[in-house]
Amino acid sequence: GNSVTQMEGPVTLSEEAFLTINCTYTATGYPSLFWYVQYPGEGLQLLLKATKADDKGSNKGFEATYRKETTSFHLEKGSVQVSDSAVYFCALRRGTALIFGKGTTLSVSS
């Protein structure tokens, strides 16, 4: 079936450190892939997306590349800020619904 696997958190970094959050997926066909972010006490917001192989989604300094050969969509940011502290969810589309990974909590300290 379709599923998303994310690295276990929490991830704790100092400000300006490099961030990678791994995400791999299992799916039939070529699903669209997404990263959503949930700030404390809020709903989810779309961070970036990619709809086909080799597409790179980017937003707010975050990037992720759709890798069909490794079925991966890892999230990266070159220099994190305290304001990036949140829970990050990798997701794929199955029909009309999103299938989410379990989320990775990122904590950035100054």
Partner 1 sequence: DTAVSQTPKYLVTQMGNDKSIKCEQNLGHDTMYWYKQDSKKFLKIMFSYNNKELIINETVPNRFSPKSPDKAHLNLHINSLELGDSAVYFCASSQDGTRLYNEQFFGPGTRLTVL
User: Could you list the residues that contact partner 1 (CB under 8 A)?
Assistant: 31-32, 34, 36, 38, 42-46, 49, 51, 87, 89, 93, 95-100, 102-103, 105
Distance of alpha carbon 78 from alpha carbon 69, whole angstroms: 24
Least Å distance between CB 32 and partner 1?
A: 4
Distance of alpha carbon 21 from alpha carbon 86, whole angstroms: 12
Residue 55's H or E segment, with its range, is none
For the chain, give the number of residues. 110
Least Å distance between CB 86 and partner 1?
A: 11
Residue closer to partner 1 by CB (options 18, 30) is 30
